[in-house]
Amino acid sequence: MMKRPTFAFGLFLATLPIASFAQSAPTPANRDSGASAPVDLSAAKPGRDPNQPIDSAYTAKIKEYTTEPFFLSPLVDYLPASKTVPTPKAVLGDIAGAPTKLPYSKEVYEYMRALAKASPRVKVYSIGTTEEGREMIAVAVASEELIAKLDENKAKLAKLADPRAINMDDKVAEEIAASAAPVYYITGTIHSPEAGAPTALMELAYRLAVDESPYIRNIRDNLITLITPIVEVDGRDRVVDVFNWKMKHPGQTVPPLIYWGKYVAHDNNRDAMGMTLKLTQNVLNTYVDWKAQVIHDLHESVPFLYDNTIGDGPFNAWIDPLLTNEWQMIGWNNVQEMTRFGMPGVFAHGTFDTWSPGYLMFIAATHNGISRLYETFGNGGTAETVERTLSPSETERTWYRQNPPLPRVKWSLRNNNNYEQTGLLVSLSYFANNKRQFLENFYQKSKRSVTKAKVEGPAAYVLPADDRRPGAQAELLNVLRKQAVEISRATAPFTVTASSHASARHGARPAADSATKADTATTTTTRTFPAGSYVVRMDQPYSRIADALLDYQYWSPNDPQKNPYDDTGWTFPEGFNVQAVRVTDVKVLDAPMERVTGEIRSPGGVTGTGTVFAINHNADNALVTLRYRLAKADFQVAEESFEAAGKRFARGSFVVKGVPQADLDKAAKELGVPVVALPAAPNVKMHAARAARVAILHTWLGTQTEGWWRQAFDQLSIPFAYISTQDVAKNPNLNAKYDVILFPPTSGNGTAIIQGMPMWRNPVPWKNTPETPNISTLAQTDDMRPGLGWQGLENLESFVAKGGVLVGVTNTAEFAVQFGLTNGVTANTAKSNSVVGSLLRTKLVDETSPIVYGVSDSLAVYSDDGGSFSVSSTRGGRGGFGGGSGNGRATGRGTADDPDVTQGRQADPKFEAPPRATVQPWQAAPITDDQLRSPINIIPPDQRPRVLLRFADQKELLVSGLLDGGSDIAQRPVVVDVPMQKGHVVLFANNPLWRGETIGSYALVFNTMLNWDNLNAGRKLDEK
């Protein structure tokens, strides 16, 4: 799960140390499968029981495919034999981890189902489907007795998971913990090129089901192992396609796996906050439904086994401290046991910080369980055995890695499978032996999540009924629902006290929050919330995830961790631009309220009667859905606010005609859009809001970040064409097909966008063919290598010049700037690591622009790295004059604002320059008469960049996350509309559509689409 997966291939050789190799040390013959002398299974030593028959052909293959004896352990150096239960070979044709085979999902499932058919110790459950309709499964393995009473056991675990069910009675909990079996949930291959887990998990399930050694029986008798062998099923079948293609085309360049899931690749392991992907929802539902204690997620990008469970600081601030102790216990036991087996390169800690709750495993951490993660060593999507040379950083001895990985190694898929299975079996054994303690901890963590409301607080978050964005509010509440959080709704108004200290921020704005400077002094105010307000109580078992998502994050610039692994801030109410008031007053828990069940929808529909309909613009996403759903209706946009039917409608509101009231009412009800019928259209300046023909443009270099855009568009039912830079290169008349081309962030810089991949060697196809049937038809090419090219750039330029709108975001905005599509704009980079995935405050600069219709001031936007723009009224961007604050003076007499005085010269006002205008960092310096004498580089007023949104002043810039300094970010333009002949290039320094976490910024893009041919509305041109 490396942030940027890298694989080191190098060339130097080192002598392999001689490790102690435990040769299947047999345990004393104190076993039997049945009822003879009682055996203390918990004391069982790892390894084969001498009476355990082995599958000798399979065992021989294990040894053949393992490249060094010390890459085996006594737990996996043999395969137990069974007369009735098939081994993985039955489906694979060879053993698990063979160098020629990566199984497809259907083969893995076929095996698991065969196992379940043959063994009463195995059951297979379907847990949902993927975006492309492939099945996800969970396989339970335990003793016959445990399997027979799964429901009874689950009922016990449910009481520990929700201590309210036993009135928080510790005695009852202790009794349950003494008798219940915990559930240990293992998830494989979420990252498709980390391809080894499915075969390891097939074999692991087999071992757990058939091995009669005391060590395995102890696991089987005491806990339920639950396995989802493939998390990213769509990507799995594609990576197998590509591997098989590689086998059939030796020596050729293999297509990089540009698509994993339908929408995102590596980021599928960043969705445990927003819960937008099916795989996240399915795993969470399984975890919650089974009342599991652990999620253990398998990855393969670090040699040889990195148990990153403990990781490094800073730890997430919302989890129970008990969990961080459990990480230490399990992690160190894991390292110790495998080091004892003589397996090199097993370590814990490392540099992974445990701050963001976005990782799949963190579903357990935020739901009172234990998150775990392995990185083992993989060969990057192939089953082949490969000579690998590791980097010094991977092989140096450190305090937490006393037996580091070997600098040079021949590495096989079987080695990887050995490490994965050994680590898992060691962990399962430890968990089985300490199950009572872990179950008691599980109960304690669940209980403290319930008592949190009255202990550390807050007591609740309240989402007021009068929020101006009920649609976005419903979207936020539905994220919480997917997180299994209970939501209530006030049945009457209620009043609580609020302290300004804890809630002076925008999204958590109490009634009297003007006292923002009261950092230390806490002033107490009261606030009354209307009936219908939503209440997220913190006295519930899953309060921690709600708190983690709704609260603010602060990452200190002085934190010893200098390389945050992922986003540092995510405050959902800010990202969604809705209010969620953090209430510490426990009186809130007594407010009259009832639990909300089912999906939450904002109220919508038509009120009144008439043939003209007004819809207020509040930047809710449903507005754009409605516009596309009623594609034939006449939608006009008001360029000023207006009053009608006793209501105020904001600038940008819709005035709709040409649709039957019943049709509009039905759509508006479904989408949660309030509509007011009017007898006549209001008297206000309007322009048409056409349903633009939109294309989302991708490169063949990287599709992940734009995948979140496609996902949002699909979820909102916004039609779009999906085109590649190669399609643009082939089409000189893009205007015939599209009005707006969105170019979301991609991989590589501007030059890479133009050039694509190097053209040497063979064409690299990405195509649905009989050889690669799982490559979807969503996007295909015979050769991934060519980029946009100069012809493509020309076609894009012509598209804009003729009236089209191009949207560039972060690195594609830089591309547009770099290649001359945006007169008068430069792109700024902030100091490295001053912002790492933070939410930053913005200010509206020109609220008359259609792009910011309905968007409130002080919107929080997602910034990956603090990038921004500067603008100028001269070609070539901001340079030479007017830079910075634009009014600094040279060294001289007087104060900073005084003029200098030349000594010995007659002072005469007629020689003094006229006063220079103060130019703010978001503004262009005005053009002077002197510059106009040679106007060649002066941009005509109607072609100058128009700044719509800028970053806030430095002192209020940070919303959530890390901000180190920020003087090179504050006040600079964030969203800029750049006219180019008849069209526009709209530039974003923020990413407005990010991981389903920035709902509040979506409108900036949707407004651009609906007003694409009227973006100049409200614009005031410079005089000269």
| For Zn ion, the closer CB: 495 or 747 | 747
d(CA 342, CA 326): 25
Secondary structure class of 49 (helix, strand, coil): coil
Please identify which residue in the block is written with the tokens 């699909």: 714
**Axis crossing angle, helix 197-210 with helix 214-222, rounded to the nearest 10:** 100
| Cβ 549 to Zn ion shortest distance, Å | 23
d(CA 497, CA 216): 57
55, 61 in Cβ contact below 8 A? no
| For Zn ion, the closer CB: 299 or 582 | 299
d(CA 707, CA 726): 18
Residue 624 interacting with Zn ion (CB under 5 A): no
Residues in contact with Zn ion, shown as a per-residue x/- string from 246 to 285 under the rule CB under 5 A: ----------------------------------------
Which H or E run contains 713? helix 704-715
| Cβ 483 to Zn ion shortest distance, Å | 23
Strands 721-724 and 694-698: parallel
The first and second tokens of residue 683, run together, are 């008297």
| For Zn ion, the closer CB: 236 or 299 | 299
| For Zn ion, the closer CB: 300 or 639 | 300
Q: Tell me the sheet residues that pair with 676.
A: 607, 614
| For Zn ion, the closer CB: 1 or 200 | 1
Got the DSSP string for 26-71? Answer: PPPS---SSSSS---GGGPPSS--TTS-B-HHHHHHHHHH-SSGGG
Choose the binding region for Zn ion from 203-211, 299-307, 349-357, 425-433 (rule: CB under 5 A).
299-307
| For Zn ion, the closer CB: 310 or 807 | 310
| Cβ 293 to Zn ion shortest distance, Å | 23
The dihedral through the CA atoms of 167, 168, 171, 176 has a sign that is positive
| Cβ 301 to Zn ion shortest distance, Å | 5
Residue 637 interacting with Zn ion (CB under 5 A): no
* Residue 449 DSSP code: H
| Cβ 193 to Zn ion shortest distance, Å | 8
| Cβ 266 to Zn ion shortest distance, Å | 7
805, 738 in Cβ contact below 8 A? no
Secondary structure class of 520 (helix, strand, coil): coil
Amino acid letter, 7: F
| Cβ 297 to Zn ion shortest distance, Å | 8
| For Zn ion, the closer CB: 380 or 966 | 380
688, 244 in Cβ contact below 8 A? no
Which H or E run contains 234? helix 233-248
Residue 299 interacting with Zn ion (CB under 5 A): yes
Total site size for Zn ion, rule CB under 5 A: 4
282 HSE (CA, 13 A, CB side): 25
The two counts, helices (H) then strands (E), for the chain are 27, 38
Instruction: Give the CA angle between residues 325, 326, 328 to the nearest 5°.
Output: 65
Report 172-231 residues binding Zn ion (CB under 5 A).
Answer: 191, 194
The first and second tokens of residue 383, run together, are 């089953």
Choose the binding region for Zn ion from 167-175, 296-304, 751-759, 775-783 (rule: CB under 5 A).
296-304
| Cβ 393 to Zn ion shortest distance, Å | 18
Strands 183-187 and 224-228: parallel
Closest CA to 723 of 806, 620, 647: 806
502, 513 in Cβ contact below 8 A? no
d(CA 349, CA 330): 12
Q: Tell me the sheet residues that pair with 490.
A: 593
| Cβ 377 to Zn ion shortest distance, Å | 12
The first and second tokens of residue 721, run together, are 């064409």
Residues in contact with Zn ion, shown as a per-residue x/- string from 939 to 968 under the rule CB under 5 A: ------------------------------
| For Zn ion, the closer CB: 1 or 365 | 1
| Cβ 556 to Zn ion shortest distance, Å | 28
Choose the binding region for Zn ion from 1-9, 595-603, 791-799, 944-952 (rule: CB under 5 A).
1-9
| Cβ 427 to Zn ion shortest distance, Å | 18
CA distances from 640 to 124, 617, 637, 835, 848 (A): 60, 11, 9, 36, 8
Residue 1 interacting with Zn ion (CB under 5 A): yes
Choose the binding region for Zn ion from 248-256, 291-299, 483-491, 1011-1019 (rule: CB under 5 A).
291-299
276 CB-near residues (< 8 Å, 6+ apart): 708, 711, 715, 995, 996
| Cβ 998 to Zn ion shortest distance, Å | 24
| For Zn ion, the closer CB: 65 or 306 | 306
Choose the binding region for Zn ion from 294-302, 449-457, 816-824, 881-889 (rule: CB under 5 A).
294-302
| Cβ 348 to Zn ion shortest distance, Å | 17
226, 186 in Cβ contact below 8 A? yes
| Cβ 359 to Zn ion shortest distance, Å | 10
Q: Where are the alpha helices (DSSP H) in 824-939?
A: 929-932
d(CA 24, CA 144): 27
* Residue 506 DSSP code: S
| Cβ 362 to Zn ion shortest distance, Å | 14
Choose the binding region for Zn ion from 139-147, 207-215, 292-300, 733-741 (rule: CB under 5 A).
292-300
Secondary structure class of 590 (helix, strand, coil): helix
| For Zn ion, the closer CB: 381 or 854 | 381
Residue 123 interacting with Zn ion (CB under 5 A): no
409, 386 in Cβ contact below 8 A? no
| For Zn ion, the closer CB: 153 or 187 | 187
| For Zn ion, the closer CB: 362 or 430 | 362
| For Zn ion, the closer CB: 1 or 180 | 1
| For Zn ion, the closer CB: 194 or 211 | 194
| For Zn ion, the closer CB: 191 or 537 | 191
| For Zn ion, the closer CB: 258 or 952 | 258
CA distances from 14 to 395, 405, 570, 950 (A): 11, 11, 45, 55
| Cβ 417 to Zn ion shortest distance, Å | 16
| Cβ 191 to Zn ion shortest distance, Å | 4
| For Zn ion, the closer CB: 101 or 191 | 191
d(CA 670, CA 23): 66
Q: Contact positions toward Zn ion, by CB under 5 A?
A: 1, 191, 194, 299
